[in-house]
């Protein structure tokens, strides 16, 4: 579960970016990096293996300053944990951070190598940097270059791009991996999770599937998947400042164990009465959808999968509904049979687990008519009929 932070401001943003990454440490990661455009239009990139503190120390030592920048914590998918594989990735004047998986990266890598690009990493993300650099040569704007790039990508991604020659803006694209924009006064921000930005703003806008956004100090423009200008709702967050901190606990797992009673109360608050569950609180048309369910198929990864295994007993013993549970990476790569009137339930702490998202897309293509997603953040999943935010 990688983390993204970006900022466009008059003040130096390196400390804001690093603090944002600290607030995303609970996701887990193996490396971290920042790229900032300074007053001389130089792109300063710093990457480190290990904890965000290692990156913070390096940023301080190198006196990284500038008003436009992006940052990232990486969890290795393509290529080993290393400084060379850490984000941001750079191609010419372009710097890129990315969450998700580009499934056609090998074909794109071969194409770009034919064009003369030399790869410095083993990651799928570097193909995005080179593609944007290539498309920027023939595009009037950075947004146009990103739109052309996105049209060539297969997979899930939340991507943020900076052009060294044009530090007045950062651009972002969302396909399956959340991007949230934070609004300040004379400065704006973005991240993969609003927790990263709570130290600088509480006003947020979530990009929807296929959106491309251009963020400057004073303005945010959003284009939908068809390239049309759209308005997305801006909301005020009431999230707790310490939600991403370990607090008094030694590690995040211990914190999450002790938080379970409160988490259950928060989850059910407003969704239950003294007699029953308020089905309508689960989602639009939930009553009609759940009435038809004769089978439940749960898909998840890691500890979410373990939760699904526990839920299986409850579905069958309490509700009398048959239930199967499968690891998402296994589910997506086999030929499965869709049972009649089956509800697909995906579990994801972050709402952006790549295998779970890919399995959900595939299941919808194969005929699952009803899908429910249970996640920890307010993500927007167009392919889920119901979304329960914990």
**Residue 360, pLDDT score:** 83
Distance CA 136, CA 94 (A): 9
Place of tokens 């603090």: 19
Predicted TM-score of the model (pTM):
0.71
**Over 90: is that where the pLDDT of 101 sits?**
no
Helix H or strand E encompassing 182: strand 180-183
Query: Where does the pLDDT of residue 269 fall: very low under 50, low under 70, confident under 90, or very high at 90 and above?
Result: low
Query: pLDDT tier at 270 (50, 70, 90 boundaries)?
Result: low
Residue 272 is given by DSSP the state B
- pLDDT of 350 above 80: no
Quick count: other Cβ atoms within 10 Å of Cβ 363?
A: 22
Rounded mean pLDDT, 30-44: 95
Asked if residue 290 has pLDDT above 90, the reply is: no
Question: Would you say domain 259-389 falls under CATH 3.40.50.10490?
Answer: yes
What pLDDT does residue 1 have?
Answer: 60
Residue 287: band (very low, low, confident or very high) from pLDDT cuts 50, 70, 90: confident
**Between 309 and 272, residue with greater pLDDT:** 309
Q: Looking at the domain covering 3-242, what would its CATH class be?
A: alpha beta
Ramachandran category for residue 163: left, alpha or beta (phi over 0 → left; psi -120 to 50 → alpha): beta
Q: Supply the DSSP symbol for 208.
A: P
pLDDT of residue 281: 64
The mean-pLDDT minimum among 147-151, 296-300, 385-389 falls in 385-389
- Looking at residue 337, its pLDDT comes to 84
Q: What number is the average pLDDT over the span 182-194?
A: 95
Is residue 300 over pLDDT 80?
Answer: yes
User: Is residue 88 within 8 Å of 72, Cβ to Cβ?
Assistant: yes
At residue 227, the pLDDT reads 93
Average pLDDT over residues 308-333: 92
Domain boundaries, the chain: 3-242, 259-389
What is the SS3 assignment for 281? helix
Return the residue matching tokens 């697909």: 344
The pLDDT of residue 382: 45
Q: What is the pLDDT of residue 58?
A: 96
Best CA proximity match to 244, nearest among 74, 23, 10, 11: 23
Residue 357: pLDDT over 60: yes
* pLDDT score of 154: 86
pLDDT of residue 289: 85
Q: What is the percentage of the chain residues whose pLDDT exceeds 90?
A: 58
Mean pLDDT over 131-138 rounds to: 97
Amino acid 298: pLDDT: 94
Identify which has the larger pLDDT, 101 or 115.
Answer: 115
CB 208 within 8 A of CB 231: no
pLDDT, tens digit (0-9, with 9 covering 90-100), for 210-228: 999 999 999 999 999 999 9
Tokens of 379: 């993500």
- Nearest 5°: the CA angle 146, 152, 158 is 55
Question: What is residue 380's predicted lDDT score, i.e. its pLDDT?
Answer: 46
């Amino acid at each position: 579960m990688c983390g993204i932070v970006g900022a466009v401001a008059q003040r130096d943003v390196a400390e804001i970016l690093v603090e944002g990454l600290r607030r995303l440490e609970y996701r887990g990661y193996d490396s971290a990096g920042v790229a900032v455009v300074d007053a001389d239009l130089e792109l300063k990139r710093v990457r480190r293996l290990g904890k965000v503190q290692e990156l913070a120390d390096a940023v301080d030592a190198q006196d990284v300053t500038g008003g436009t920048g992006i940052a990232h914590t990486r969890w290795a998918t393509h290529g080993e944990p290393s400084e060379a594989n850490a984000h941001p990735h750079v191609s010419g004047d372009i710097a890129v951070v990315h969450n998700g998986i580009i499934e056609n990266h090998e074909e794109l890598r071969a194409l770009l190598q034919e064009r003369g690009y030399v790869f410095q990493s083993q990651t799928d993300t570097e193909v995005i940097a080179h593609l944007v650099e290539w498309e920027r040569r023939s595009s009037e704007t950075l947004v146009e270059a990103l739109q052309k790039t996105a049209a060539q990508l297969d997979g899930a991604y939340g991507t943020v791009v900076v052009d060294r020659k044009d530090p007045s803006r950062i651009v972002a694209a969302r396909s399956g991996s959340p991007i949230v924009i934070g609004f300040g006064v004379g400065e704006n921000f973005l991240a993969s999770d609003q927790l990263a930005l709570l130290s600088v703003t509480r006003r947020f806008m979530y990009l929807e599937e296929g959106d491309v956004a251009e963020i400057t100090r004073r303005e945010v423009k959003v284009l939908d998947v068809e390239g049309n200008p759209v308005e997305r709702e801006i909301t005020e967050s009431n999230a707790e400042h310490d939600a991403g901190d370990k607090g008094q606990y030694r590690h995040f797992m211990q914190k999450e164990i002790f938080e379970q009673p409160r988490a259950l109360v928060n989850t059910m608050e407003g969704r239950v009465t003294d007699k029953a569950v308020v089905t309508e609180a689960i989602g639009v048309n939930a009553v009609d959808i759940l009435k038809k369910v004769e089978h439940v198929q749960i898909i998840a990864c890691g500890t979410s999968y373990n939760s699904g295994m526990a839920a299986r007993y409850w579905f069958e013993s309490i509700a009398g509904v048959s239930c199967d549970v499968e690891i998402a990476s296994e589910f997506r790569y086999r030929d499965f049979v869709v049972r009649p009137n089956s509800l697909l339930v995906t579990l994801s702490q972050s709402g952006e687990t790549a295998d779970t998202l890919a399995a959900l897309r595939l299941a919808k293509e194969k005929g699952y008519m009803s899908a429910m997603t249970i996640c920890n953040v307010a993500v927007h999943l167009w392919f889920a009929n119901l979304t329960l935010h914990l």
